[in-house]
Structure 1
Amino acid sequence: MTSRAEGDAVGDCRGERPLRRDAERNRQRILRAATEVFTQRGLDATLDDVARQAGVGVGTVYRRFPDKETLVAELFQDRIDAMVAVAEQACAAPDPWQALISYLEHAAASMAGDLGLRQLMMFATYGKDRVAYAREQMRPVVSKLVERALAEGTLRHDFSPTDIPLIVFMLASAGEYAGSVQPDIWRRYLALIIDGMRAARGGSPELPVPALSPGEIEQSMRAHGQRSSTRRLNARAFAFSS
């Protein structure tokens, strides 16, 4: 015979599993909604926006993710890891030139189609530790891709590994600018840039200014991120006072 206390314990255990399943379903629904919201609207979107997209109360979102930083960090971790993995795989490809171009195309495609990822990697407004980790992981691999193509003689001699992130950001920005008309326009400019990257017979003319150093890249991203944050704050203040 089961005592009342034992029956209560069994009842609690039986009731716990559906609750856990419901909680996990809500969590996955929130992550799917956040993917759609941040991909299309960028990191200015709020947890309220995510809740509306998910069809749940904002309190449900906050119970799963205490702040936007936590949600963004979890949401983009897989995408950051995937970019690192693609760079590592490209390093193992037998053709140095094609390996470099394939990585460049993959990185541009990833960011051109995902406003949130682009903002995350460009400005590191959220998930700073993860973004810094991704950059530290990618820097030596991207440098190796560039060095292999330089050694092969297919890449112009004055090309620098730090040119890669700026080219990717430029291409992604072109895709955003013309996204409502021709979202793949960045591919046109990638083809033009690739032609400019090739080592010309008889030597290529020197580029007019040197590449940024890794420290200057970081400084530029921080400054741009701070300006973007200031603009967002000013816009919110204006909207509040209107």
Structure 2
Amino acid sequence: MTDLGDPATEPPATAGAPAERPLRADAERNRRRILQAAREVFTEQGLGVTMDDIAKHAGVGVGTVYRRFPEKGELIDALFEERVSEIVALAEEGLTIEDPWEGFVHFLRGQLELQAADRGLKELLISHGHGSNRVTAARSRIAPIAIQLFTRAQQAGVIRADVAPTDVPMIGMTLGSLVDYTRESHPDAWRRLLAIVLDGLRVQPEVGTPLPAEPLTFEQLDQSMACWKSGRR
């Protein structure tokens, strides 16, 4: 593709003029083109891509990308805040399901399906190295409602009493990595492992195997996520 360029679209600011002016149609088209390209590249390759990668995919010069989005974090904000909200919506849907176990499974399976479809989303949810306060705030919205889902199922006696809320995101991290490693060879492999994990979480008529270690504290969970290293697979 050829570089469409990004001609000057706003006249110099003058006294009493508004701080921002609407973009001209050609500049707005470039902005949408960049956002779409970033969405596709992040989804396919993760957040480690460069602004040059995004510019090449969009068919514009890298200078055009930087004029619209001076930092990659701004692109991440624009694209992933909405995606993180989809995780929150999954949890909210789970609470509307009468059966506490089915509601919990709906949330866990649904967010893994989103991660399987969008590599960048998984990196955003786990890694502390990407995104700004706005995305971090959106991500933090997930925890309270996810814990509510978990607690409801545990109090109903369908999740083992010795499982802790912090075990669930660790399961997500583990299966999320499996999604990456099998994306090309066996993209549904995570579904098989999820079924095995769910059997382990659910209260069975017989006594389950005692768990060999204490659950993570929330501080330890945060440290584990911070240490996770993103990379292309």
Work out whether the TM-score is over 0.5.
yes
CA deviations 1:43-99 (Å, max 9, x no partner) are 110011001001111111111100111111111111011111221221232110000
Aligned mate of 2:109, from 98, 105, 110: 105
Q: Give the distance between the partners of 2:126 and 2:38, measured in 1 at CA.
A: 19
Q: Give the distance between the partners of 1:66 and 1:46, measured in 2 at CA.
A: 13
Distance 1:169 1:112, change over 3 A: farther
Aligned mate of 2:228, from 206, 224, 230: 224
Structure 1 unaligned residues grouped into runs of 5+: 1-15, 233-242
CA deviations 1:85-134 (Å, max 9, x no partner) are 22122123211000000100011111122221111111121114244323
The count of aligned residue pairs is 212
Q: Give the distance between the partners of 1:87 and 1:154, measured in 2 at CA.
A: 17
Q: Give the distance between the partners of 1:158 and 1:197, measured in 2 at CA.
A: 9
CA deviations 1:177-233 (Å, max 9, x no partner) are 1111111111111111111111011432221112211111111122234xx5xx99x
The SS at the match of 2:41 is: helix
Bigger radius of gyration among the two: 1
The answer to whether the Cα contact below 8 Å between 1:124 and 1:131 also exists between their aligned partners in 2 is: no
Q: Give the distance between the partners of 1:126 and 1:107, measured in 2 at CA.
A: 19
Aligned mate of 1:179, from 178, 183, 186: 183
Q: Give the distance between the partners of 1:184 and 1:207, measured in 2 at CA.
A: 28
The yes-or-no answer on 1:191 pairing with 2:212 is: no
* Residue type of the alignment partner of 1:151: Q
Between 1 and 2, higher relative CO (CA 8 Å, sep ≥ 6) is seen in 2
Q: Give the distance between the partners of 2:62 and 2:112, measured in 1 at CA.
A: 34
The yes-or-no answer on 1:67 pairing with 2:71 is: yes
Hey, which bits of structure 1, 4+ residues long, moved more than 4 A?
Answer: none
Aligned mate of 1:167, from 168, 171, 196: 171
Instruction: Determine the structure 2 residue equivalent to 1:39.
Output: 43
Structure 2 unaligned residues grouped into runs of 5+: 1-20
- TM-score, L = length of structure 2: 0.84
Instruction: Determine the structure 2 residue equivalent to 1:211.
Output: 215
Instruction: Determine the structure 1 residue equivalent to 2:57.
Output: 53
* Residue type of the alignment partner of 1:192: I
- TM-score, L = length of structure 1: 0.81
The yes-or-no answer on 1:151 pairing with 2:178 is: no
* Residue type of the alignment partner of 1:134: A
What displacement does 1:135 show?
Answer: 4.1
Between structures 1 and 2, the one with greater helix share? 1
**Which range is displaced more, 123-132 or 29-38?**
123-132
The answer to whether the Cα contact below 8 Å between 2:167 and 2:215 also exists between their aligned partners in 1 is: yes
The SS at the match of 1:104 is: helix
The answer to whether the Cα contact below 8 Å between 2:84 and 2:139 also exists between their aligned partners in 1 is: no
The answer to whether the Cα contact below 8 Å between 2:51 and 2:62 also exists between their aligned partners in 1 is: yes
Instruction: Determine the structure 2 residue equivalent to 1:90.
Output: 94
Instruction: Determine the structure 2 residue equivalent to 1:78.
Output: 82
Distance 1:149 1:129, change over 3 A: same
The answer to whether the Cα contact below 8 Å between 1:108 and 1:169 also exists between their aligned partners in 2 is: no
Distance 1:190 1:136, change over 3 A: same
Instruction: Determine the structure 1 residue equivalent to 2:10.
Output: none
The answer to whether the Cα contact below 8 Å between 1:42 and 1:115 also exists between their aligned partners in 2 is: yes
